[in-house]
């Protein structure tokens, strides 16, 4: 199994609408990319100071399935249209479990 994890911080001028649109767009992907075994995402809960703003955790059966997701046009569209315009920083890891 591959667990893909990515954390984002948003730019200071990112609007609440732009932030909400990220989650909304990501929410369409499980219906479009059947390789997704589990998919959790959302904004930070505000428990600790200094956290990143948003997280995505996506599970796949194999590296190949993860690569389908990574390079999928619908996923790439979410990145280009929703995430890139408001991203300040990105941190990612893929875990092989």
Q: Which residues bind a copy of itself (CB under 8 A)?
A: 2-3, 5, 7, 40-42, 44-45, 47-48, 50-55, 57, 63, 66-67, 70, 89, 91-97
Nearer to a copy of itself, 13 or 97 (CB): 97
How many Cβ atoms sit within 10 Å of the Cβ of residue 8? 22
Our CB check for a copy of itself shows the closer of 32 and 92 to be 92
Q: How far is the CB of 21 from a copy of itself (least distance, A)?
A: 18
Shortest Cβ distance from residue 78 to a copy of itself (Å)?
Answer: 17
Question: Tokens 């390789």 map to which residue?
Answer: 35
Torsion of CA 82, 85, 4, 53, to 10 degrees: -100
Distance CA 69, CA 81 (A): 17
């Amino acid at each position: 199994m591959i667990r893909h994890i990515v954390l984002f911080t948003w730019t200071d001028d990112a609007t609440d609408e732009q932030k909400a649109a990220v989650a909304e767009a990501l929410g369409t992907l499980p219906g479009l990319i059947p390789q997704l075994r589990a998919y959790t995402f959302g904004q930070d809960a505000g428990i600790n100071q200094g956290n990143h703003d948003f997280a995505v955790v996506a599970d796949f059966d194999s590296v190949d399935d993860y690569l389908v997701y990574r390079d999928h046009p619908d996923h790439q569209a979410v990145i280009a249209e929703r995430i890139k315009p408001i991203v300040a920083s990105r941190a990612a890891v893929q875990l092989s479990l």
